[in-house]
């Protein structure tokens, strides 16, 4: 979620490029002549030279007198009142319009005409106050207290009153953290807020986004992000590893308690929060949108990427929450073949070695996002006819739906684990045998992508790991794989996917990782978008998730697992729209480590894994059952028409 810089094309800027915006001297201001006269109409504005925009830096006051660093970009060719497009994040504000103009990612929006506004949230760069990650909403309606909802409200109110030639309408947009602040603006929206495009927001930091998935801690992301945003208020700082392969570094770290004793020394509050809140307590619940987000009359466009390595759960959850009231007819969702924020930059024609046959990101920006804002903020054009627009991977086609997940034309079908590492839609029988076994060793965990594993930031490998070939894990002794025969016709899944896993461990705690994979034919030689790279036998991960066993009964009250006793785990593999093509195979992999994406489960139950000792980390025998009554399977939403 959080590496996204501002939003859209600004996400291409690296944190090391962030810097203070220079305050112009009086001599330079006087030299600007007419531009300074324009600036005088915005109280307290400092002029920044732009190519196609007049840029003004302002410290916008909030209701508690805290001032937030804000850059306002007014088109030089403005000839009529224009609406605002506001984006709020902790990653910096532009010091020129050069990157925005050259990126071409804003072309369609610029053509329609907007006053763009970028703002640093509290405690970041020049913004005053204290930065609190995903600050929970204020309790009650105390007019003197503030949160990201009131900050959005106060910013909008100030803009309307102090920036001339606006048309009284405001849109909020942004990906990643800027997507989260966009959703927060919906909690108590300003009357002038007419449209919101939230993209890749987080929705629940313990159940499905960024820092935890089903209670399992996302180690490499959590550690490196905490270092990124909290090491310095005034810049984004990367942790300096002394090993090229971070798999080796994290393994040598040992128990998680060493992170503070050796490196952070208690100085990074976000990491301290991880340590202090290992379970789903009020700390996490207060941040989760499910606890306070309600349907709204403000139109919302939710945007997600099928291979978003940080926040796929979030936008789909927000769409679900806003749909709880069926009378809310202005809640839309789009999902495409993108990684985190991939729709905000470039063409979107490919991801890693995968080609999609068209410029999917350009299509979204030109045919979806720009018309969306033009309708609500300019009053022109028309709304889309469908509530959901999904890019069906495999066939590589855009598909409209009246609702998501669709309720018509889809049948849930169980794909069972069978003997001989086979998958079948036929229910197993007792002659198949009872189970498959593997040994999970926390001292030799399964890497989540091929080694060497470079740092999460700023290296590019993190952005495409979800589409990496999974053959590096297949046939490891601590990974079980099952697959179908080659399909005789296309099989399309449209909707929510669930793993129904019957498993036991010889330990008292365990992680369960389930991956749904599309196995390409051996003679597949790629397509025009993959250059010369072969895709023969490629194992493409379509959906994957981890579940921390200690939470099998409750996420807020962990319990030890009974050794060697089978339990049922229903693991949400989320939603998807994918065609397994004729000649392909469907594969499922199960493992218990995914390192260092997920911290090592000691496999011995302890009260808090952040305080586990070396002696707690033990090997365990893992058993996956596949007999009547304990028939492990994947439940697929198979399209019937």
pLDDT of residue 510: 98
pLDDT digits 0-9 by tens, 396-417: 999 999 999 999 999 999 999 9
Residue 592's pLDDT band, with cuts at 50, 70 and 90, is very high
pLDDT digits 0-9 by tens, 550-570: 999 999 999 999 999 999 999
CA angle 219, 233, 59 (to 5 degrees): 135
* Beta carbons of 337 and 306 less than 8 angstroms apart: yes
* Beta carbons of 91 and 15 less than 8 angstroms apart: yes
d(CA 611, CA 627): 38
Strands 620-627 and 630-631: antiparallel
CA 634 to chain CA centroid, Å, is 24
User: What integer best gives the mean pLDDT of the chain?
Assistant: 90
Question: In the predicted model, is pLDDT for residue 11 greater than 80?
Answer: no
Q: What is the torsional sign of CA 293, 297, 298, 301? A: positive
- DSSP label at 200? S
DSSP assignment string, 80-128: S-EEEEEEEESS---S-SHHHHHH-TTHHHHHH--EEEEEEPTTSTT--
- Which of 7-11, 402-406, 489-493, 586-590 has the weakest average pLDDT? 7-11
Tell me the domains of the chain and their CATH numbers.
8-204+287-401 (3.40.50.1820), 212-285 (1.10.3020.10), 410-639 (2.60.120.260)
* CB under 8 A, 24+ apart: contacts of 328-331: 328/295, 328/296, 328/297, 330/297, 330/298, 330/299, 330/300, 331/295, 331/299, 331/300, 331/302, 331/387
d(CA 403, CA 388): 6
Three-state secondary structure readout of 438-499? EEECCCCCCECCCCCCCCCCCCHHHHHHHHCCHHHCCCCCCEEEEECCCCCCCEEEEEEEEE
pLDDT digits 0-9 by tens, 145-193: 899 999 999 999 999 999 999 999 999 999 999 999 999 999 999 999 9
Q: Which of 416, 420, 415 is nearest to 432 (CA)?
A: 420
CA 63 to chain CA centroid, Å, is 31
pLDDT digits 0-9 by tens, 30-42: 333 334 344 448 9
Residue 582's pLDDT band, with cuts at 50, 70 and 90, is very high
Residue 229's pLDDT band, with cuts at 50, 70 and 90, is confident
pLDDT of residue 4: 42
Question: In the predicted model, is pLDDT for residue 18 greater than 70?
Answer: no
Neighbours of 589 (CB within 10 A): 22
d(CA 150, CA 153): 5
pLDDT digits 0-9 by tens, 356-379: 999 999 999 999 999 999 999 999
* Close Cβ partners of 432 (under 8 Å, ≥ 6 residues apart): 418, 419, 626, 627
* Beta carbons of 388 and 403 less than 8 angstroms apart: yes
pLDDT of residue 138: 86
Question: In the predicted model, is pLDDT for residue 203 greater than 80?
Answer: yes
pLDDT of residue 26: 30
d(CA 306, CA 575): 9
- Which of 263-267, 332-336, 547-551, 582-586 has the weakest average pLDDT? 263-267
pLDDT digits 0-9 by tens, 453-490: 999 988 889 999 999 999 999 999 999 999 999 999 99
What do you get for the CA distance between the two ends of the chain, in Å?
A: 36
Residue 524's pLDDT band, with cuts at 50, 70 and 90, is low
- DSSP label at 583? T
pLDDT of residue 35: 40
pLDDT of residue 236: 60
pLDDT of residue 233: 54
pLDDT digits 0-9 by tens, 378-389: 999 988 778 999
pLDDT of residue 228: 80
Q: Token pair 């302002």 is at which residue? A: 58
Question: In the predicted model, is pLDDT for residue 430 greater than 90?
Answer: no
- Length of the chain counted residue by residue: 641
Q: Which two tokens stand for residue 337?
A: 């073949």
pLDDT of residue 37: 40
Does residue 635 or residue 232 have the better pLDDT?
A: 635
d(CA 184, CA 50): 31
d(CA 22, CA 504): 60
d(CA 66, CA 149): 14
């Amino acid at each position: 979620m959080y590496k996204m810089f501002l939003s859209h094309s600004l996400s291409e800027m690296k944190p090391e490029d962030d810097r203070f915006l220079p305050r112009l001297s009086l001599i330079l201001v006087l030299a600007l002549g007419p531009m300074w006269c324009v600036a005088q109409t915005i109280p307290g504005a400092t002029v920044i030279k732009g190519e196609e925009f007049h840029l003004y830096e302002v410290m916008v006051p909030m209701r508690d007198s805290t001032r937030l660093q804000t850059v306002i970009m007014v088109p030089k060719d403005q000839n009529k009142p224009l609406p605002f497009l506001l984006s709020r994040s902790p990653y910096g504000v532009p010091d020129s319009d050069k990157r925005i103009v050259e990126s071409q990612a804003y072309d369609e929006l610029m053509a329609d005409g907007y006053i763009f506004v970028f703002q640093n949230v509290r405690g970041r760069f020049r913004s005053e106050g204290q930065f609190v990650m995903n600050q929970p909403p204020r309790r009650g309606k105390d007019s003197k207290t503030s949160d990201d909802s009131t900050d959005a409200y106060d910013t909008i109110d100030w803009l309307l009153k102090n920036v001339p030639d606006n048309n009284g309408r405001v849109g909020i947009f942004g990906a990643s953290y800027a997507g989260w602040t966009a959703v927060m603006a919906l909690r108590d929206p300003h009357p002038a807020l007419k449209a919101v495009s939230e993209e890749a927001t987080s929705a629940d930091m313990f159940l499905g986004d960024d820092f935890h998935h089903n209670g399992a801690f996302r180690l490499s992301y959590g550690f490196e992000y905490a270092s990124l945003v909290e090491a310095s208020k005034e810049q984004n700082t990367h942790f300096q590893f002394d090993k090229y392969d971070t798999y080796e570094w994290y393994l040598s770290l040992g128990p998680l308690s060493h992170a503070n004793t050796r490196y952070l020394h208690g100085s990074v509050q976000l990491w301290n929060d991880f340590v202090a809140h290992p379970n789903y307590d009020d700390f996490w619940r207060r941040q989760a949108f499910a606890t306070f987000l309600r349907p709204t009359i403000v139109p919302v466009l939710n945007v997600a990427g099928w291979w978003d390595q940080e926040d796929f759960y979030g936008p789909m959850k927000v769409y679900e929450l806003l749909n709880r009231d069926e009378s809310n007819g202005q809640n839309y969702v789009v999902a495409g073949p993108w990684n985190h924020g991939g729709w905000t930059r470039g063409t979107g024609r490919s991801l890693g070695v995968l080609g999609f046959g068209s410029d999917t990101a350009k299509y979204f920006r030109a045919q979806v996002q720009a018309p969306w804002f033009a309708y609500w903020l300019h009053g022109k054009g028309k709304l889309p006819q469908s509530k959901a627009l999904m890019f069906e991977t495999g066939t590589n086609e855009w598909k409209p739906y009246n609702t998501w997940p669709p309720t018509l034309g889809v049948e849930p079908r169980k794909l069972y684990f069978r003997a001989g590492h086979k998958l079948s839609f036929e229910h197993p029988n007792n002659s198949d045998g009872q189970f498959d076994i593997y040994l999970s060793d926390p001292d030799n965990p399964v890497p989540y992508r091929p080694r060497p594993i470079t740092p999460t930031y700023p290296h590019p490998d993190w952005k495409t790991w979800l589409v990496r070939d999974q053959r590096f894990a297949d046939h490891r002794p601590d990974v079980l794989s099952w697959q179908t025969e080659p399909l005789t016709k296309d099989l399309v899944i449209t909707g929510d996917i669930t793993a129904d896993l019957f498993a036991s461990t010889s330990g008292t705690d365990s992680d369960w990782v389930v991956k749904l994979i599309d196995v390409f034919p051996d003679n597949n030689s790629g397509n025009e978008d993959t250059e010369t790279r072969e895709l023969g036998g490629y194992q493409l991960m379509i959906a994957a998730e981890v579940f921390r066993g200690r939470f099998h009964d409750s996420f807020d009250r962990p319990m030890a697992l009974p050794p060697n006793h089978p339990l049922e785990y229903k693991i949400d593999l989320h939603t998807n729209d994918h065609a397994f093509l004729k000649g392909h195979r469907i594969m499922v992999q199960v493992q218990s480590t995914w390192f260092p994406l997920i911290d090592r489960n000691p496999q011995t139950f302890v009260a808090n894994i952040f305080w586990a000792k070396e002696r707690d980390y033990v090997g365990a025998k893992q058993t996956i059952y596949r007999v009547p009554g304990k028939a492990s399977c994947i439940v697929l939403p198979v399209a019937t028409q």
